[in-house]
């Protein structure tokens, strides 16, 4: 980029953040998946996609994979709709990708969101107790644990169930660094994922995720793409172990993706067949998260995601 274009980009970023001066924020992460967090207890703050992108810019802004606004559910149409059936979901996680686009859910973001609510004094949640929140991916229940937070992510489902059942694959994925397209399985965790199994860690390391992998056919609203290597042996002491990298919609490669870890466990468990475990450890570049399958009171199989959440800094926009 020449000096003129660089100056224009700096000017656009400054304009995009205009009007947010004095805004208090925090920066947090869950296994390296990082977020700008804003408390809006009165539901009065309006943040444009351009402002979100400017705040999340890693060179000219605060820098993050996404922005989370903590807002009362009653302040949003989506939140009010959830409250009719789930009155306990008083807080809503208004999540935006790093490019400013809306996202249905973020598994790491949910943990960091609840940790932020506690840090801000907006909720009281002792260890062992649970909190219900609203998201665009539905209502989620989070338990505070000794090591972080465990989130009931709700039921999973195949995006193309006919193909998944008949062929154990529904698409082909191409990415720089892979010589040929690989078969994949698409899973919804409230947001879309496409999971590719690779044979060895060396292949995972050389796969390039600077740009979005090509998925054919892609889910209707785009997809996050996970590349996964099962461990050898796959199961140790009753727990499955896999290693994963991910390219997220509207963001690029991230150090971790909670819903992606859940989707990866769904796919590898499906491919492993009968006798595959219900508990999984998923290693991502930013750490390790736990995934567990269980039958919920509604009769459906749900997925629990567990892991840490950290607030690293707080400040005020100048």
Q: Does the annotation count 56 as an active-site position?
A: no
Reported in sequence order, the residue ranges of 99-217 that DSSP labels E, i.e. its strands, are: 130-135, 138-145, 148-155, 157-158, 171-174, 182-188, 192-197, 214-216
Residue 262 bears catalytic tag: no
State the Cα–Cα distance between residues 219 and 186, nearest whole angstrom: 8
CA 310 to chain centre: 15
* Cβ pair 313, 37 in contact under 8 A: no
Q: Are 20 and 317 within 8 A, CB to CB?
A: yes
Q: Which of 106, 133, 215, 303 is catalytic?
A: 106
The SS3 assignment for 188 reads strand
Q: Which residues contact 212 (CB under 8 A, 6 or more apart)?
A: 225, 247, 249, 252
Tokens of 271: 């491919």
Cβ 111 vs Cβ 149: under 8 Å:
yes
Q: Nearest-5° angle of CA 308, CA 314, CA 318?
A: 150
User: Alpha-carbon Rg of the chain, whole angstroms?
Assistant: 20
Q: Cis link prior to 189 (omega < 30° from 0)?
A: no
Return the closest-CA partner of residue 141 out of 111, 121, 168.
111
Active-site position among 82, 257, 267, 268: 257
Closest CA to 150 of 188, 90, 95, 110: 110
Q: What amino acid positions are annotated as catalytic residues? A: 106, 257
């Amino acid at each position: 980029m020449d000096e003129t274009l660089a100056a224009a980009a700096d000017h656009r970023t400054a304009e995009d953040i205009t009007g947010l001066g004095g805004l208090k924020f925090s920066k947090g992460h869950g296994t390296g998946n990082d977020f700008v967090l804003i408390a809006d207890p009165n539901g009065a703050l309006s943040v444009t996609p351009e402002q979100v992108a400017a705040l999340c810019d890693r060179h000219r802004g605060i820098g993050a994979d996404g922005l989370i606004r903590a807002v009362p559910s009653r302040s949003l149409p989506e939140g009010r709709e959830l409250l009719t059936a789930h009155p306990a979901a008083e807080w809503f996680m208004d999540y935006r990708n790093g490019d400013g686009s809306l996202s249905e859910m973020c598994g790491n973001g949910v943990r960091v969101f609840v940790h932020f609510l506690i840090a801000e004094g907006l909720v009281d949640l002792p260890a062992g107790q649970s909190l219900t929140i609203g998201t665009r991916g539905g209502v989620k229940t989070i338990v505070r644990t000794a090591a972080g937070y465990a989130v009931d992510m709700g039921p999973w489902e195949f995006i193309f169930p006919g193909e998944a059942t008949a062929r154990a694959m529904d698409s082909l994925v191409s990415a720089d660094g892979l010589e040929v397209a690989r078969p994949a399985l698409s899973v919804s965790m409230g947001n879309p994922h496409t999971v590719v199994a690779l044979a060895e860690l060396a292949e995972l390391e050389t796969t390039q995720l600077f740009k979005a992998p090509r998925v054919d056919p892609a889910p209707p609203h785009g997809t996050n793409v996970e590349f996964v290597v099962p461990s050898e042996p796959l199961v140790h002491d009753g727990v499955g172990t896999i290693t994963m990298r991910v390219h997220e919609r509207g963001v690029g490669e991230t150090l971790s993706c909670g819903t992606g870890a859940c989707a990866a466990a769904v796919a590898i468990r499906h491919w492993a067949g009968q006798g595959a475990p219900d508990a999984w450890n998923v290693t991502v570049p930013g750490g390790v998260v736990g995934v567990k399958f269980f039958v919920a009171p509604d009769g459906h199989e749900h997925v629990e995601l567990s892991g840490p959440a950290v607030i690293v800094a707080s400040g005020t926009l100048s």
